[in-house]
Amino acid sequence: MTASTLGVNPTRLLERIVSLGACGALPDGGVSRLALTDADAQGRAELLRQMRELDMEIRIDPIGNIFGIHAGVEDAVVMMGSHIDTVSTGGLYDGALGVIAGLEVVACLKDEGIRPRHPVVVAAFTNEEGARYAPDMLGSLVYSGAMDVDDAYRITGCDGSVLGEELRRIGHCGTQSGPRNIHAYVELHIEQGPVLEDQGLNIGIVTGVQGISWTEVTVEGRSAHAGTTPARLRHDAGLAAAYITMGLSDMVAAMGPAQLATVGALTLTPNLVNVVASRAVMTVDLRNPDNTALCAAEAMLAKLMGEAKARYGVNVSHRTLARFEPVPFTPALVDTIEATACQMGLSCMRLYSGAGHDAQMIAPVAPAAMIFVPSVAGISHNIREYTHPDDIMNGANLLLRVVTDQAGLA
């Protein structure tokens, strides 16, 4: 048996996905496994169960990242990974696929008695989504050394919880270190966008991750009676928020499709039908694969905040929730993945990732790249998120081949 004839076990791989998906399952399908909640703790327990079944050495680091290690003879490891936390109404595949497919790769190596030269590692990073704690990709950020773990512990979540306390509460504040010497990091993930399906392709060869800028904008106006306050005397925080929202939409139209802008969260105070809003708190998510363009979008947001202040007589303040520059993946590893996909007869294209991924935190410290498989209708962060089993197998088999080649034989 050589790497070229190895293949994952479809039934077993899908069963692994379903078992993890049962943790935090929602009544109408999909899952809610916000980072460090009880549901996440259940998912972590299921992951550890599957790792133990594969006789993997388990390490949990101080930020709760889980590493399962399949022994090799060298220090440098070949790492697969992603995350198992989800948004509050997420699907079965975002994150989970990269971790679960990694376990299936290890299972195949064991089945075939392949002893890798480089240890093969499966990593599940904490709080990738950022839906409970900002910034997103927090676990891999700390793992890479770009954030201090004590700073991470102090982060307050959108529900008022404190990250360090929740990590300890669920018993995943580990004392071990993850592997430090990475020969190659390969992350399999669903595309979470519509491009591969539109193009009718099997695989996306991800060349990098676009830059992300998250800002929380707070507009302070003055509450007033909706029936007695003339428009010219209002300080309407909700109207100012709408102005900024529309301005960002106009900016996207002007900058072209590479620029994205989203106002996903907006809360008005006091939020009553007959009271002009005194306060609006909104989030702005800006993304662009080009950092210069992303900076221009941030400048436009600043301009819109200034215009809203002048136009509506409100105060506008802001704070950065997250800021990541575009990250290119390692060209040699990207080339290798592309060549392997072609050898396997898989149709593929190179593309940028629109979403943030743990791989972008690894890329500055080790060779890293990603493999995308199609998402039906491009839907993700949604209970209707779905990837066809054939696409899952294509992605997992490509991962298996790449990792086996990278790991070598003992």
Residues at the contact surface with its own copies, assessed by CB under 8 A: 87-89, 129-131, 134, 136, 191-194, 210, 212, 214, 222-233, 236, 238-239, 241-243, 245-246, 249, 252-253, 257, 260-268, 270-278, 283, 285, 287, 321, 353-356, 378-382
Distance CA 59, CA 281 (A): 40
Residue type at 14 in one-letter notation: L
Distance CA 212, CA 390 (A): 31
- What residues contact 12, with CB distance under 8 A and at least 6 apart? 104, 107
User: In the complex with its own copies, which residue's Cβ is closer, 162 or 224?
Assistant: 224
Least Å distance between CB 149 and its own copies? 23
- The beta strand positions in 138-210, using DSSP E, are 182-190, 203-209
How many C-beta atoms surround the C-beta of residue 180 within 10 A? 12
- CA-nearest of 376, 405, 373, 363 to 96 is 373
Least Å distance between CB 237 and its own copies? 10
Q: Are the C-beta atoms of residues 182 and 77 closer than 8 Å to each other?
A: yes
Tokens encoding 82: 């992603």
User: In the complex with its own copies, which residue's Cβ is closer, 2 or 273?
Assistant: 273
User: In the complex with its own copies, which residue's Cβ is closer, 67 or 372?
Assistant: 372
Least Å distance between CB 230 and its own copies? 5
Least Å distance between CB 365 and its own copies? 23
Tokens encoding 249: 């939409």
User: In the complex with its own copies, which residue's Cβ is closer, 143 or 214?
Assistant: 214
User: In the complex with its own copies, which residue's Cβ is closer, 194 or 328?
Assistant: 194
Q: What are phi and psi of 123, to 5 degrees?
A: -115, 140
User: In the complex with its own copies, which residue's Cβ is closer, 104 or 128?
Assistant: 128
Residue type at 214 in one-letter notation: W
Least Å distance between CB 33 and its own copies? 14
User: In the complex with its own copies, which residue's Cβ is closer, 210 or 394?
Assistant: 210
User: In the complex with its own copies, which residue's Cβ is closer, 113 or 273?
Assistant: 273
User: In the complex with its own copies, which residue's Cβ is closer, 56 or 280?
Assistant: 280
Least Å distance between CB 297 and its own copies? 13
Residue carrying the six token digits 């935090």: 24
Q: Are strands 315-324 and 211-220 parallel, antiparallel or unpaired?
A: antiparallel
Least Å distance between CB 139 and its own copies? 16
- What residues contact 51, with CB distance under 8 A and at least 6 apart? 58, 66, 68, 103, 122
Distance CA 75, CA 228 (A): 73
C-alpha distances in angstroms, 266 versus 157, 187, 261, 298, 326?
16, 33, 14, 19, 26
Least Å distance between CB 206 and its own copies? 12
Least Å distance between CB 93 and its own copies? 12
- CA-nearest of 62, 403, 36, 368 to 208 is 368
- The beta strand positions in 202-347, using DSSP E, are 203-209, 211-220, 224-225, 260-262, 266-269, 275-276, 279-288, 315-324, 327-328
